[in-house]
Structure 1
Amino acid sequence: MAYVPGIALLAVLVAGCTGGSGTEDATTDAKPGTPTVSVAPPGKYQTLPEACRSVSVNTLKQLLPGVADLPEDQRERAYEGRASVTYDTDRKVGCTWQARTSESTRTLVVDFERVVSYDPSVSDEDSAATVYGKKAEAAGLPSPSVTSSSPADPSADPADPSAGALSDPAASDGAGVAPQGSTSPTTTASPTPDGGDDGGDGASDELAPRVLNNIGNAAFLDDSLESGGSSAQRRTVSVVFRTSNVVVTVRYAEQAADADGVPESAELQEKAQSLAHGLDESINE
C-alpha cells in the first residue's frame, strides 16, 4: 500500500464528506407536510402580589368587626395578617386575618396561585383553567371547558414590562367591600347541584352555591355550613376565580359564639363577592 501523508489523507476524507450538494441532501431528508409543533405562549402574569397587602385596611375594617376596638398594637397586628407558609412566592402566596367578638369569630383567607405549564404545547392559561375546573368540580359546580389560549386583555401591549406582573392592590382601595346600599357584582344563579348544600338554613336559590359572572375569566361561589353537634356552627363562603394564569381563592368564614347561633349566608356572600371583584379589578389594573 502506498504511503499517504497525513495532510493529504485528511484532504481526501474532507473531500469525501463534503462531496455533493448539501442542499440536495437536506431536501431529500426533509419530509414535506410534517406538522411543526408550536410552543404555547407563557402566562400573562409572571409574579404575584404580597398577599397580606392585597386587602386594604379600610376593607378589613368592614370584614373583621371588632378589630377597630382593640388596643393599637393588637389592632395593627390583626390588620397585618399572617402569611401562609410557601416555598415559592412567585407561584403561590396567601394570608389569613381573624377577629373575635362576643358574638362570633370571623376569618378571612386570600390565596393566589400562579399556574405554570410544564408542557410546551399547553399554555399557562389553559393549565390554570384546568386547576380552576378541578376546584369547581370539587365544589359540585360546573366548570367551563378548556379552550385554546387567548390573551385575557386583547388591548394589552406585549412590550409593556408591567404586563407580566400583578399590580399591588394595596396601592389603591380597589379590593374593597361594596359600601352599604351599593350594588354587588352581578351573579348568575344556578340550580343547586344534586346532593349540594342550599346554604344549610333553607337558603334560596339566589344564595345557593353557583357560578358567578363579571369576576375574572371564570368564577364560582360555594357556601357550606359546618355543624359540630354541641359546638358552635361555622359557615364558610368561598369565592374562587381565574384571571388568565392566576387562580384566586377568597374564603370568608364566621363561627358563632353561641352554640345555637347560625351564621347567615347573605352578608358573608355579599362581602366575599365584593372582595373578589375588587381583587380581580386590582390585578388587571
Structure 2
Amino acid sequence: MTFGSFARNLSFLGAGFALLATSTPALPQDGNDEARLRRLEAEVRALQRKVFPGGDGRFFEPEISAQPSVRSTVSGSSTTAVTDILARLDALETQLQRQTAQNEENANTIRLLTERIDALEGGGAGNPEPVAVTTGGGEEAPGASRSLAAEISGPSDERLAAVQSIAKPQTDDPADDEYSYGYRLWNAGFYPEAQQQLTLFVEQNPGHWRTTYGRNLLGRAYLDDGKAKEAAPWFLKNYQEDKTGARAGDSLLYLAEAMIALDDSRRACIALAEFSETYPALAAGRLQGQYEASRAKVNCD
C-alpha cells in the first residue's frame, strides 16, 4: 500500500469516525455529501424542537462534555471538502451536547419528584397513585417509583466510598498526578470516573509528555465500558496528533478494535494495514499478540 493511498484512507477514517461520535451513518463518498449534511442538520433541529422544546444548557453541563474534534494535521487539507464537513459536524456535536444537558436536567427533575414521593410515603401517606412524569418533549413517562429513583439517583454510597479510597498521587508534577489518578480509576474498573478524570487531564495539558498516554487511555476507558463509538475518535486523534508519540501506535491498533466492536470490518482493516505499515516493530514486538488477535477477527483482503 502506497503513502498516497494511506493518506486517502486516513482522511476517509477521520470523516467516518467523527460521524460515529455523533451516532450518524458513515458519510457517502459521492456528490450527495452536501445534501446529506443539510438533511442531517435539519433532523437535529427537528429533534431539538420535538424532544427538548425550549431546552438550553444554562443549568447542567453534560457529564462528559468533550468529544475530540477529529482533524487531520496533513498540511494543505484545511481548505478541502472533508475539513468543511468536519467543521459542520462539530456544530452538530455541540447541539447534541446541549441536548445532553437538557436530558440531565429532566433526570434531575424526576429525581426531585421521586424524593417528594418518598417523603410522603415515609410520612404515612399510604400508597399514593403513580405520578406521571412529563419529559422535556411533553410526553408522559411511566410513574415515578423507588426503582426509578435507584436508576437515576447516581452512584451508590458504596461506589462513592470505593472511588474515594483511590488516592491521587502528590508529586512535583501535578499534571502527571492527574493522569496517574485517571489510570488508577481505570485500573480499578471505575470507567465513567476515569473518563471524566482523563478528559480533564487531556484538555488542560495538551502539551504534556503524558498526553499521548492520556488520550490513548481515555479511549480505552470508553472501549472497556462498552462505548466503542465514543472511544474511536480519541484513538484516531491520538494517532493523528503525533504519529511518533509513545502511544500513537497503540491507539491505531485500538482503533481497529473499536471498529471490530462496531462491526465495521472495512475501517478495521484500514487501521490494521496502517498499523503494520507504520509500526512494523510494534507489530512484530510488544503488540504482536494483540495485532494478530485483531487480524483473526476480520477478513481483510
**Common fold by TM > 0.5:** no
Q: Which has the higher strand share?
A: 1
Q: Which has the higher helix share?
A: 2
TM-score after normalising by structure 1: 0.21
- Whose radius of gyration is greater, 1 or 2? 1
TM-score after normalising by structure 2: 0.20
Query: Which of the pair has the greater relative contact order for Cα pairs under 8 Å at 6+ separation?
Result: 1
